[in-house]
């Protein structure tokens, strides 16, 4: 009798009985898995990873692979800002990520950047006019909502004072609510930049209040780039109890801002180019967290 068919059948049954059950996908449900891609951009979005990105974001960006860093270049983001934002753009470029100029008309593929005047038909919006900035950002973001994937708003260091803290908080929350209702779901919030203070506070305490409110309000759903933590070395640089941008990080004759020149002895907060390059790593990591 030919026993080969029987032996083959027994071998097959034994193999089936001893085979391991397939393990679940370790990326299932992980924010880095692009399970729900959005339209626009050249790289699929993941679920995002909300939270606060501060000093640790610098090394976190350094530790990403070139492939992961490159994802930021494929997501359509819009970053509108004043001068310190320009420093962050310059620093990002030094780290290999270019923000294409946004002219208020067409959103480019990938990161987009502009100052306030460029998107406002040449009508000047000055630092110290936060309401006008928020209105302009809302208009532009909603105009580009079909393609825009990550919205990034930054106040200037002169926008927030002791007199308008509550007004700014209310208006900014309404701005974000309106953008969410309009279909924009991903945001990078930026704690307001600090100025250099030596003899007296000139608005930094007010900016710290707004920064803390941003962290408390948005960290569970969005990414908050904590520029204040980085500029002040987590409060190591301060006047009394009020944080200040560290002297070594600000724009000076020995290390000027690439685009903003040298700051006055007190009362400004532009970034030394070397430090802008370092700090912008955490900025880029914030965008990465929003899209991953």
* pTM (2 d.p.): 0.86
The span from the CA of 207 to the CA of 162, in Å, is 8
User: Taking the CA of residue 252 as centre, how many other CA atoms within 13 Å lie in the half-sphere pointing to its CB?
Assistant: 12
Grouping H, G, I as helix, E, B as strand and the rest as coil, residue 111 is: strand
pLDDT tens-place string over residues 67-84: 999 999 999 999 999 899
Q: Which helix (H) or strand (E) holds 16?
A: helix 4-18
Q: Which of 133, 154, 147, 138 is nearest to 79 (CA)?
A: 154
What pLDDT sits at residue 122?
74
CB 218 within 8 A of CB 187: yes
CA angle 292, 275, 115 (to 5 degrees): 70
CB 157 within 8 A of CB 193: yes
Buried b (16+ CB within 10 A) or exposed e, 264-282: eeebbbbbbbebbbbbbbb
Buried b (16+ CB within 10 A) or exposed e, 162-175: eebbeebbeebeeb
What pLDDT sits at residue 7?
40
pLDDT band at 40 (very low <50, low <70, confident <90, very high): low
- Diameter of the chain by CA atoms? 104
pLDDT at 96 over 60: yes
pLDDT tens-place string over residues 97-114: 999 999 999 999 999 999
Instruction: Provide the CATH number for the domain formed by 48-291 in this structure.
Output: 3.40.50
The span from the CA of 76 to the CA of 152, in Å, is 11
pLDDT tens-place string over residues 248-284: 999 999 999 999 999 999 999 999 999 999 999 999 9
E strands, the chain, are: 51-53, 77-81, 100-101, 111-115, 150-153, 187-190, 223-225, 238-239, 242-243
The span from the CA of 247 to the CA of 245, in Å, is 6
The span from the CA of 223 to the CA of 173, in Å, is 15
pLDDT band at 13 (very low <50, low <70, confident <90, very high): very low
- Mean pLDDT of all residues belonging to the chain: 89
pLDDT band at 120 (very low <50, low <70, confident <90, very high): confident
pLDDT band at 185 (very low <50, low <70, confident <90, very high): very high
The proportion of the chain whose per-residue pLDDT surpasses 70, expressed as a percent, equals 86
As given in the structure block, the two tokens for residue 28 are 């299932």
pLDDT at 210 over 60: yes
Q: Which helix (H) or strand (E) holds 290?
A: helix 273-291
CB atoms < 10 A from the CB of 24, how many?
8
């Amino acid at each position: 009798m030919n026993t080969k068919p029987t032996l083959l059948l027994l071998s097959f049954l034994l193999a089936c009985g001893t085979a391991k059950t397939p393990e679940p996908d370790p990326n299932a449900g992980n924010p880095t898995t692009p399970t729900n891609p959005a339209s626009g951009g050249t790289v699929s979005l993941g679920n995002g990873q909300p939270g606060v990105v501060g000093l640790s974001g610098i090394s976190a960006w350094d530790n990403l692979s070139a492939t992961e860093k490159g994802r930021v270049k494929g997501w359509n983001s819009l970053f509108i800002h004043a001068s310190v934002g320009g420093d962050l753009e310059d620093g990002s470029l030094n780290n290999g990520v270019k923000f294409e100029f946004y002219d208020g008309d067409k959103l480019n593929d990938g990161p987009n950047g502009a100052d306030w005047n460029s998107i406002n038909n040449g009508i000047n919006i000055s630092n110290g006019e936060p309401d006008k900035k928020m209105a302009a950002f809302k208009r532009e973001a909603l105009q580009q909502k079909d393609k825009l994937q990550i919205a990034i708003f930054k106040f200037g260091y002169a926008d927030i004072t002791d007199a308008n803290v509550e007004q700014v908080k209310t208006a900014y929350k309404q701005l974000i609510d309106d953008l969410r209702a309009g279909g924009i779901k991903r945001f990078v919030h930026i704690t307001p930049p600090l100025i250099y203070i030596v003899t007296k506070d000139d608005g930094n305490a007010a900016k710290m209040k707004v920064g803390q409110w941003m962290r408390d309000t948005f960290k569970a759903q969005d990414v908050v780039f904590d520029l204040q933590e980085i500029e002040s070395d987590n409060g190591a640089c301060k006047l009394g109890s009020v944080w200040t941008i560290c002297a070594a990080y600000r724009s000076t004759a020995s290390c000027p801002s690439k685009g903003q020149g040298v700051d006055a002895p007190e009362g400004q907060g532009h970034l030394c180019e070397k430090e802008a390059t370092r700090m912008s790593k955490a900025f880029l990591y914030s965008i990465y967290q929003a899209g991953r």
